[in-house]
Structure 1
Amino acid sequence: MSADEQPDSLAEQAAAWVPPWARAPVPAERASAPEPELPPAPEPELVPAAELAPEPEPVSAPEPEPVLAPEPEPVLAPEPEPVSVAEPAPATEPTPVVEPSPGRPEALALLDDGELRAALEAIMLVIDEPVAEVVLAQVLEQPTDRIAAVLADLSAGYTAAGHGFDLRRVAGGWRLYTRPEYAPYVERFVLDGQSARLTQAALETLAVVAYKQPVTRGRVSAIRGVNCDGVIRTLLSRGLIEECGSEPESGAYLYRTSTLFLEKLGLDSVEELPSLAPFLPDDVEEIADAQR
């Protein structure tokens, strides 16, 4: 290859380069001749930095967003309720203190059996009519059952001791009575020769009312066979009988025995009256047919 045919680029030069041991021998003429100067290699063109492709920026993985815990809701303290100022109460007059009467306690304490027996005996000495257990329980502030038990025990004790008086339950209540065996002495002291007995007519009328009650005045007169208006008025005035309404058919007044009647006879109720059967005659049916 001649000097005129040398390649222009370095690549071509490198490709056309032959190592010395592979080269053909150079004639002497050419060996002595100076080697032709090679043209300077063209300098590589510099490309402006603006035209160079930008290097790719490193792709960074997105940082995970921090998970924020929910903020606790603020706890609001309850608002204090408005305090209302109480209005001052109107001035009132002081309540007068009632002092208990001397010898009388304001509230009775629970009495023992001895005190209760003595209290009941004191009350029985001042009453003038039978008193029920309920009334005594209210006065002494004790249970009714206890009052009834103590009264029954007192009555049994008087009988066992042979006292001249007795505690009986009559007309729904309790009262002291003299014993029947001492009645002659009591009558002699009380009556002193005076007689306050009922007449035979009054006794018969009272018996009819007691066994037929409630009964009208006309019915009593029909049973006795005589007019009983005067006797009825006498029994009413003495408190042995009382009115108790009227008959629906005729409007006539009805009569019944009173509490005083039970008290005088020493009975608790009219159911304790003796039966009339033993006192009736044997021919009562014949007498009744004859009256018809």
Structure 2
Amino acid sequence: MISVARSRIESLLLVCDEPVPPTHFASALDITAQEAEDILREIAEEFDARGSGLEVRERDGLWRLYTRQANSETVEALLLDGTQQKLSRAALETLAVVAYRQPCTRSQVAAVRGVNCDGVMRTLALRGLIAEDGETGGAHLYSTTDLFLEQLGIESLAELPDLAPLLPEVETIEAEGDWG
């Protein structure tokens, strides 16, 4: 028999639109964070064991309900129904620079690419793949988002292929001048 707390955590998982810590569930249900985490692990294990179309994932102590990775093509086909636009080559190049050099400014990205990238950066931000991540010297810093990781199907940036040594050092980029 499923406990009341488990049933309620399943309901909360369904309505949470971003990963949350076990304390979030614990405070809503008046249970300990450890009890909430145990229930979350139990749900995740059961979903995995029965091959559910849903999975509960934990990353950095935060939990969220997702559609099963193996079903992503089917889910995307229904949700996007041909409306998805692929990223342009310029957007992919810009995204790669941000991913490997984050946090970085627009001018640093432009210096690596050799062209102005303001419009591409705005597009990537609108799609939720990059976001402002502070400032340095009056310039906005940009980093990739959790959506970027989800779209690539990876848990962290550490899983990206080791290409960073092929890119110029940030100090070299800054020495070449500020592009805007």
List aligned pairs for 1:172-187, cutoff 5 A. Answer: 173-187=62-76
Identity of aligned residues (%): 44
Q: Which has the higher contact order (CA 8 A, sep 6+)?
A: 2
Q: State the Cα distance separating 1:263 from its structure 2 match.
A: 4.6
Q: Which amino acid aligns with 2:11?
A: A
Higher strand fraction (1 or 2): 2
1:275 aligned partner: 161
1:191 aligned partner: 80
Residue pair 1:201, 1:231 contacting (<8 A) in 2 also: yes
Q: Which amino acid aligns with 2:26?
A: A
Q: Which amino acid aligns with 1:255?
A: Y
Q: State the Cα distance separating 1:231 from its structure 2 match.
A: 0.6
Secondary structure (helix, strand or coil) at the match of 1:196 reads: coil
1:207 aligned partner: 96
Q: Which amino acid aligns with 1:122?
A: S
Q: State the Cα distance separating 1:241 from its structure 2 match.
A: 1.8
Q: State the Cα distance separating 1:187 from its structure 2 match.
A: 2.1
2:171 aligned partner: none
Q: Which amino acid aligns with 2:64?
A: R
Q: TM-score, normalised by structure 2?
A: 0.78
Q: State the Cα distance separating 1:233 from its structure 2 match.
A: 0.9
Q: Could you tell me which of 32, 54, 57 is aligned with 1:168?
A: 57
Structure 1: which 5+ residue stretches go unaligned? Answer: 1-111, 286-292
Counterpart-to-counterpart distance in 1, 2:24 and 2:104: 32
Q: State the Cα distance separating 1:197 from its structure 2 match.
A: 3.2
1:128 aligned partner: 17
2:121 aligned partner: 232
Q: TM-score, normalised by structure 1?
A: 0.50
Counterpart-to-counterpart distance in 2, 1:127 and 1:164: 18
Counterpart-to-counterpart distance in 1, 2:94 and 2:152: 16
Secondary structure (helix, strand or coil) at the match of 1:175 reads: strand
Q: Which amino acid aligns with 2:84?
A: S
Q: State the Cα distance separating 1:269 from its structure 2 match.
A: 4.4
Q: Which amino acid aligns with 1:195?
A: Q
Q: State the Cα distance separating 1:172 from its structure 2 match.
A: 5.3
- Give the number of equivalent residue pairs: 167
1:217 aligned partner: 106
Q: State the Cα distance separating 1:149 from its structure 2 match.
A: 1.9
Query: Deviation digits for residues 26-51 of structure 1, max 9, x if unmatched?
Result: xxxxxxxxxxxxxxxxxxxxxxxxxx
CA shift in 2, pair 1:146/1:197, >3 Å:
farther
Q: Which amino acid aligns with 1:240?
A: L
Higher-Rg structure is 1
Counterpart-to-counterpart distance in 1, 2:61 and 2:90: 29
Secondary structure (helix, strand or coil) at the match of 2:79 reads: helix
RMSD (Å), alpha carbons: 2.7
